[in-house]
Structure 1
């Protein structure tokens, strides 16, 4: 059961809606949640499903809440934050931003005040309650607010804290973009199996179950990933032959370059969005 405090969700898109569902499931009372969005259809749907407060007026939601979550697209963030700066500075709530690429320095500059701000980087599996979210708190955030942020983002999956904001770009490259790497890898395995004769349905089911099983073993066995890999690999066997091909393609370097490229782009976007 989560502690009782009022939350305003600015943005009723996929991530905002998923957070509302997660919060309700984790014990936040519907009357303690406000959702604001310009899309009245999305608001109506959330109200019908969860009986939360809804409004098209961001200020009305903010006036009612102790914690403000900005679940809006990064390109709209500056304009919206500037418009809400007076009421945010007057009320001084905890601000949690899940807008990718927006640094706390930029937010403080737009607000022209040192408010308590936490950055969150969730990923798309949060939509089904299986997300991985990294959090970064600036120097203004106290332990109570950190605990609240952990509770809120923990409603949609795993939560970890980073101590340096620059590491949020690494997080973006790893877990933020990471689901796409797994989807791409699974699609490649599925297609290869189809080319070798399996039906598409069989290839997909075997690929997905193998991935689920491997991840479950990695999480629960207590063994390192390298140890688990060696346990599957018999000398002269089929796995050894397959891994030799992957090593010849220098898969580790490929992934290293991929993460470096994503990190660099994350830094570039932060520079552009924070201007």
Structure 2
């Protein structure tokens, strides 16, 4: 479905901001079959060699805005702090039928509608960093003027970098961001502190780092390929009275264990997201 949707667009896909996330999305679209001549990149800070490479593949890079036909999609992938300066120049590109997909953190549907126009069909989404290898999670919410076809198109575009989950209430976006958007950092921290704990238990630092990293990534791969709930996978590793049970007794302490800490951490990230949006 994604491939057919991307191949049948009536207008170009305009990408504003081709940094790590925007660039990963562009690569995903091209791999899924978006014709290169329907991809437009707007990024004045794009390195010359990157711009030349994209142009060599047929992608239109930094054209005059007045020369562009009505886009099927305008994807906003600039840093949120530059949005007040970056969005007004591209606002005239938003025509009837154009869907705007924003992956800017903290910029609400209302904020973007205030710049792009109240009738703009806007989808707000937050992808996470595994998008760089096509394993991302994007949580998305549609504005009131987005049609079913435009939502399908947004799903196809976001699906090029991983799975897409839709929510019906934008108020949930900060909590979703705290779980999926920030979540990779929690997994990386687990590998980091697990390695440190191994050193404290007597392992050589390099060995501990290697086996901690491989263990966290391997467990993630196992969970991805299994239909079992995470709790069941955990229980399958845990023999009564064994070493894993001894460790989990500490990590699952009701007062100071991993669970209460994670609840506190996600709450802190959610609170900060609301502050940034305000």
Q: Structure 2 length normalisation: TM-score? A: 0.90
- Residues in 1 aligned to 2:226 and 2:46: alpha-carbon distance in whole angstroms: 47
SS at 1:2 equivalent? helix
Tell me if 1:258 matches 2:260.
no
SS at 2:47 equivalent? helix
Q: Is residue 136–residue 163 contact of structure 1 (8 Å, CA) maintained in 2?
A: yes
Matched ranges for 1:195-234 at <5 A: 195-234=200-239
Can you give the 5+ residue segments of structure 1 that lack an aligned partner in the other structure?
Answer: none
Match of 1:2 in 2: 4
Q: Spell out, residue by residue over 1:17-45, the C-alpha distance to the aligned partner (whole angstroms, 9 max, x if none).
A: 11111111111111110101112425515
Tell me if 1:167 matches 2:167.
no
Q: Is residue 40–residue 60 contact of structure 2 (8 Å, CA) maintained in 1?
A: yes
Please tell me the root mean square deviation across aligned C-alpha atoms, in Å: 1.9
Q: Spell out, residue by residue over 1:136-169, the C-alpha distance to the aligned partner (whole angstroms, 9 max, x if none).
A: 1112111111111111111111111111111111
1:150 to 140, 155, 175: 155
Q: Spell out, residue by residue over 1:70-111, the C-alpha distance to the aligned partner (whole angstroms, 9 max, x if none).
A: 1101011122222333442x4551100111111111111223
Q: Is residue 55–residue 61 contact of structure 2 (8 Å, CA) maintained in 1?
A: no
Number of matched residues?
A: 269
Q: Spell out, residue by residue over 1:30-65, the C-alpha distance to the aligned partner (whole angstroms, 9 max, x if none).
A: 11101011124255155157431111545545x352
Can you give the 5+ residue segments of structure 2 that lack an aligned partner in the other structure?
Answer: none
Tell me if 1:14 matches 2:10.
no
Q: Is residue 8–residue 33 contact of structure 1 (8 Å, CA) maintained in 2?
A: yes
CA distance 1:40–1:211, shift in 2 (3 Å): closer
Q: Is residue 37–residue 58 contact of structure 1 (8 Å, CA) maintained in 2?
A: no
Q: Is residue 36–residue 58 contact of structure 1 (8 Å, CA) maintained in 2?
A: no
Task: After TM superposition, give the deviation of residue 207 of structure 1 in Å.
Answer: 1.6
Matched ranges for 1:54-73 at <5 A: 54-55=61-62, 57-58=64-65, 60-61=67-68, 63=69, 65-73=71-79
Q: Is residue 2–residue 151 contact of structure 1 (8 Å, CA) maintained in 2?
A: no
- Residues in 2 aligned to 1:60 and 1:70: alpha-carbon distance in whole angstroms: 19
Q: Is residue 123–residue 142 contact of structure 2 (8 Å, CA) maintained in 1?
A: yes
Matched ranges for 1:90-129 at <5 A: 90=95, 93-129=98-134
Runs of 4+ in structure 1 over 6 Å off: none
Tell me if 1:193 matches 2:198.
yes
CA distance 1:59–1:158, shift in 2 (3 Å): farther
